[in-house]
Structure 1
Amino acid sequence: PCEHNSECHSDYCFTNTLNLQNLCTPKTMFLVCVPWRKSNGLHCQEHSECHSHCCVRTSQIPRKFCSAKTVFLQCVAWRKPSGDYCYSHSECESLCCLSASETSSSRCTRRSGLLALCLPL
């Protein structure tokens, strides 16, 4: 534990966000001090908090969690299945959010047609 950078051999005292305790942190081989970041599965609000730089919604629960990136190095958030209420296309697995009529609420729907477009039924 430390309170000031001068207390550490590395001259770097960083706050561990899990328990909010300051700890001496070693420098990298490039002599840079790298802050501690959260591992996958821990609650987050920003990408920068995570070791993977990927803070997304991972289930129906609205909270965000640190998550691994895909093979294409993308952060992919959980999306609603067909039938769930939605406000925008990006909320749905199908990327298709439509209302059945002008007065009904929008719901996630499957894509339809030969080109799998987001078309009303």
Structure 2
Amino acid sequence: MNKYSPKNYNPHLQNLMQNANISSYRELSQKAGISELQLMRLQRGLASQMRVDILLKISQALGITLTELLTNFAPELIKKSPETSTSAVEKEYNNLQKELEQQKKLLMQEFQHSSLQILESWLQQWP
């Protein structure tokens, strides 16, 4: 198989889905919170070109580690990078999730503060 013909990782994915008691690609996409298009990319051997957060969501939905997912769908990445780098990616993802949550809280506080200021000035001018 040359490097331009698509690979078929469908049997790998179906096996992992069966182990996770997931019966369809639609169910997997809903459980992982991703589009079915992302699953098609995974089936065609494009895992190395996918975003890490998408791969992590798929691995969590399948009940496996990111390393296991990459071993099945992007073995070329595993050969080049030790498990510790995958672990580092997972840590970075978790750190980014925490940072996003903090930003969300800060934005909510700012929104509440500005809303109260607007309401307060409006109430003071209301007869």
TM-score (norm 2): 0.21
TM-score by structure 1 length? 0.22
Q: Which has the higher contact order (CA 8 A, sep 6+)?
A: 2
Instruction: Flag the structure with higher helix content.
Output: 2
Higher strand fraction (1 or 2): 1
